[in-house]
Amino acid sequence: MSTAVPLIVRVLASSVSVAGKAGKIVRDVMSKGELGIVEKGKDDYQTEADRSAQRCIIASLSAQYPKVNIIGEEDNPDNEGDISSEWLAVDADKEILSIECPSFLKGVKEEDIVIWVDPLDGTSEYTQGALMLKRDPWERWKMYLSHPLISIKWYLSLLQSHYGFLEHVTVLIGISVNEKPVAGVIHQPYFKSLIDGEKKIGRTIWGLQEVGVGGYTAAPPPDSLVITTTRSHSNPIVEKALQVMNASQILRVGGAGYKVLQLLEGVASIYVFASPGCKKWDTCAPEAILNAAGGKLTDILGNYYKYGASVTKPNKTGVLAAVNNDLHTYALNRIPQELKDKLASSK
């Protein structure tokens, strides 16, 4: 890769490439059926796909950009040690390498960059999808019994959905400079498409500030107000924030990455999550891409999050996002001050 290409463009091009590699790892773990589920906390699970995909991403990017600070969701000893060469992605996306770098990013050095990695955003949807792929009812039940950390509620919820929730699963790589998200990658390992008569699985969406976005077909927001929000981490404050929006429809889906994709593709108008449930690796990439598309992502109070290496990881005051400023302002004004104060007091 030519060093004549500005560093931030090279990092984005490498991130697009490695996100696809990580997506393949996610699918491979699923196909083998050995998810290796462990419980990190209440309603917070990790699988072998999370661990392996993160090792791939961090090892690949660290090898190319050793001075870049990379922060991953899965903080455990499995991320350390030697990595198999087949897990390393050393190439870079040629389309990205050809784009013009914004002038304000041309002088960025490796030490200025912090990369936030969520190797598998939507783990609960991933595990539910794994169960659904066991088409035979007895095989599905045996898989459930072999993973007791999966609740019976998850299992029954899955059976109600014929296809599971695999499309909600994403790989997220967010790139920040001076604490601000400037570029991002969202990879959907299970997105299915037909290109030139050939079936394809997986797609990668990217964005770079002052350049734009790629990898999807943009669409305007719905004519009526459609809200997207969490399907698995609700509480009374979350529900109150949804009620005051006067939405015609509320979509409850998994993963911050998938919710922002719904905004970009015109499926939803606003993303509302009035809870401290997500973290910086959940929002850095989606925020960067949404910004590049002309949208806006803040906390419920209307403040931007910072993505420097030393910031606290939890997004303690929730998420409010929209594909344009007008919709974001509408949503921000609808949320009662009392609710904002409750979230602010939890910081």
Q: Helix, strand or coil for residue 320?
A: strand
**Rounded to 5 degrees, what angle do the CA atoms 70, 210, 218 make?**
95
121 appears as a binding residue in the annotation: yes
91 appears as a binding residue in the annotation: no
118 appears as a binding residue in the annotation: yes
Buried (b) or exposed (e) across 101-112, using 16+ Cβ within 10 A? bbeebeebeeeb
What residues have CB less than 8 Å from 197, skipping those under 6 apart?
A: none
The dihedrals phi and psi of 109, each to the nearest 5 degrees, come to -105, 165
- How are the residues of the chain apportioned to helix, strand and coil, as percentages rounded to the nearest 5? 40, 25, 35
Is 123 catalytic? The answer is yes
73 appears as a binding residue in the annotation: yes
**Rounded to 5 degrees, what angle do the CA atoms 226, 168, 151 make?**
110
Q: Which two tokens stand for residue 96?
A: 């990205």
Q: What is the DSSP letter of 2?
A: -
Cβ of 336: how many Cβ atoms within 10 Å?
11
What residues have CB less than 8 Å from 43, skipping those under 6 apart?
A: 124, 232, 233
The single residue of 47, 93, 123, 170 carrying the catalytic annotation is 123
The single residue of 47, 50, 93, 204 carrying the catalytic annotation is 50
Is 299 catalytic? The answer is no
Cβ-based burial of 88 (10 A; exposed 0-12, middle 13-18, buried ≥19): middle
Strands laid side by side in the 212-214 sheet: 69-72, 113-121, 170-177, 180-195, 198-208, 212-214
Q: Which long-range contacts (CB under 8 A, 24 or more apart) does 1-5 make?
A: 1/64, 1/92, 1/97, 2/97, 5/97, 5/101
Cite the annotated binding site by residue number. Answer: 73, 118, 120-121, 282
Active site residues: 50, 123
Cite the annotated binding site for Mg(2+) by residue number. Answer: 73, 118, 120-121, 282
